[in-house]
Amino acid sequence: MGILHGETGHQAPLAAPNGHAKPPPCLAGMNIYAKAQEEYGLIKKVHRTLAPTGCTPDFCQAGRMTRIHEPRVGRDRPLEEIQQEAVEFLRECRDQDIIESNELLDQRIKTALVQIMETSEEKIVTDKQGNQFQGIAGGAWEQTYEELEYGLRAAWRNSRRCIMRSEHMHLALCDLRRVTTSREMVHTILDGMVKAFNRGRILPTCFVFPPRLPGKRGPMVWNTQVLQFAGYRQADDSVLGDPANVELTEAFIRFGWKPPRKRTRWDILPLIAMAEGDRPYMAELPPELRRTVSISHPRFEREFREMDLCWVMAPALSRQGFDIGGNQYTGSPFIGWVMDAEIGVRDLADTFRYNVLPEVAQRRRLSDEPDTPFDSLQEYLTLVALSRAQAELNFAVYYSFLCAHVMMIDTMTSSIKYQNYDLDRQAVVGYRLPADPYWLAPPQGSIVPIWHQGGLPNYQPKPMICRHVQDPVKAWERELEQKRREDAETPS
């Protein structure tokens, strides 16, 4: 895995002072090294553009959730990089028969290069190594529906942190590149989300708005997920609702959202989006999307009913961006279905989220010393009780979604499907999918088979899904402040 951790995505950390790859001294190590180099060669042959993974030969960030030097949408990038990535993406489309002939490929390349040049501007640019300098920032080009659809699916397949990539060919494109107002952004997202939810038979769908141009922020969604709960900071510094969303909830209130008169842990936030050059627009979610799944348990009905737990029906990430052929799609929310552990082991269970495991353990008397207050248990007894509570909560989540007829996949099935897809694909192309073990291994640990696949290669091809450079709320607040300064300087 190590030789694929280069700063540019294709440097080898096993390097001698002269810059050449330095093989390990023992025979076993040399065999591993040779196989890794062979795999790396196949990867480079197929994936013409490899992005930084955040690691360098001197500094590995594999254990970090958020890493420096990872690609993000929202930066002005050198014209040459944009042109190169456009050409390489179109050649990949030709390899996959998305473009039907070499003559059409030549025509598409010429058109793309002209459009990129026409929309380029002189700016401070950031190259793939993170260096900044004055230069020409590459513009955007118009991809065909088929090219964009392939790019989205390839970006999902290339997503090192996703375990459900076996389904990438089922991702549907909702092409909204014609939408240029915030109001229409919000309404098209909500209308499309209802259709994609499909009464519980979820159709994975990405809603794509116009690509960002140099010097612009591009269209953006304030919500981190379209479906998410508010978090209210209380006078005693506790949180009612989801602690992950406290700052976002406060920003929504500043913008004008009025929470319910009687606030609860499960208040659904509205949706706020902003098109390029337009002020943000807010709307409440329709009833079809506000519905939640009540968490119940067939053996512990009373206890779970008294805990009053629930969750939204589907994950719909809305602050991620897509980097496809040099185009940066900053507004591209997408909906899929959820894995049980995302809710039962993380969202409801993490100590910095809803932290319900101690309550589950106490109500079900899962400790070996049930009459001892939970906070007073010895550490090993706490671990036993929390482990039992985690298993029961995760089962309750899956059981509840099953009863509600809302699509969900369990951790074991998703792990097996990923491994089978990865191995079947390796048999055809000769190398494994890119993988970030920190994210890919489910939180239940070694009882899930994929946990043991620690030797998977960590590289990042493009097209790719990535984070934003800017927080959309702060970006809007900066725009407001800039406008205030300009108004103050303008003579009356």
Residue-level pLDDT at 12: 39
Best CA proximity match to 372, nearest among 388, 385, 353:
385
What is the rounded distance in angstroms from the CA atom of residue 418 to the CA atom of residue 433? 10
Active site residue: 7, 276, 342, 392, which one?
342
Order of strands, sheet of 321-324, starting from the edge strand that comes earlier in the sequence: 72-73, 464-468, 321-324, 327-329
Lookup: tokens for 299: 């053996």
Active site residue: 162, 174, 206, 466, which one?
162
Residue-level pLDDT at 15: 41
CA distances from 366 to 278, 302, 309, 372, 381 (A): 54, 15, 19, 11, 10
What is the rounded distance in angstroms from the CA atom of residue 362 to the CA atom of residue 257? 37
Residue-level pLDDT at 474: 96
What is the rounded distance in angstroms from the CA atom of residue 113 to the CA atom of residue 126? 20
What is the rounded distance in angstroms from the CA atom of residue 352 to the CA atom of residue 41? 42
Question: pLDDT by residue for the chain (492 residues), tens digit each?
Answer: 333 333 333 333 444 444 445 666 677 667 777 888 888 888 888 888 888 887 777 787 777 777 777 889 999 999 999 999 999 999 999 999 999 999 999 999 999 999 999 999 999 999 988 899 999 999 999 999 999 999 999 999 999 989 999 999 999 999 999 999 999 999 999 999 999 999 999 999 999 999 999 999 999 999 999 999 999 999 999 999 999 999 999 999 999 999 999 999 999 999 999 999 999 999 999 999 999 999 999 999 999 999 999 999 999 999 999 999 999 999 999 999 999 999 999 999 999 999 999 999 988 888 788 878 878 888 888 888 899 999 999 999 999 999 999 999 999 999 999 999 999 999 999 999 998 877 777 777 778 877 776 667 888 999 999 999 999 999 999 999 999 998 888 776
Active site residue 337: yes
Active site residue 342: yes
Residue-level pLDDT at 492: 66
- Total residue length of the chain: 492
Which amino acid would we find at residue 390?
Q
> How many Å is the maximal CA-CA distance in the chain?
80
Active site residue: 165, 217, 319, 364, which one?
165
Active site residue 291: no
Give the number of other Cβ atoms within 10 Å of residue 219's Cβ. Answer: 28
Residue-level pLDDT at 7: 35
What is the rounded distance in angstroms from the CA atom of residue 124 to the CA atom of residue 132? 7
Residue-level pLDDT at 3: 34
- The dihedral over CA atoms of 437, 441, 447, 449, expressed in degrees to the nearest 10, equals -70
* HEC sequence for the chain: CHHHCCCCCCCCCCECCCCCECCCCCHHHHHHHHHHHHHHHHHHHHCCCEECCCCCCCCCCCCCCCCCCCCEECCCCEHHHHHHHHHHHHHHHHHCCCCCCHHHHHHHHHHHHHHHHHCCEEEEEECCCCCEEEEEECCCCCCCHHHHHHHHHHHHHCCCCCCCHHHHHHCEEEECCCCCCHHHHHHHHHHHHHHHHHHHCCCCEEEECCCCCCCCCCCEECCCECCCECEEECCCCCEEECHHHHHHHHHHHHHCCCCCCCCCCCCECCEEEECCCCCCEEECCCHHHHCEEECCCCCCHHHHHHHCCEEECCCEECCCEEEECCEEECCCCEECCEEHHHHHHHHCCCCCCCCCHHHHHHHCCCCCCCCCCHHHCCHHHHHHHHHHHHHHHHHHHHHHHHHCCCCEECHHHHHHHHHHHHHHHHHHHCCCCCCCHHHHCCCCHHHCHHHHCCCCCCCEECCEEEEECCCHHHHHHHHHHHHHHHHHHCCC
Cβ atoms of 268 and 259 within 8 Å: the answer is no
Active site residue 165: yes
Residue 221 pairs in a beta bridge with: 273
Cβ atoms of 464 and 159 within 8 Å: the answer is yes
What is the rounded distance in angstroms from the CA atom of residue 383 to the CA atom of residue 186? 44
Active site residue: 156, 222, 311, 337, which one?
337
CA distances from 171 to 164, 230, 300, 336, 340 (A): 11, 29, 37, 9, 20
Terminal CA-to-CA distance of the chain, rounded, Å?
Answer: 64
Bond preceding residue 437 cis, omega within 30 of 0: no
Enter the pTM of the model.
0.90
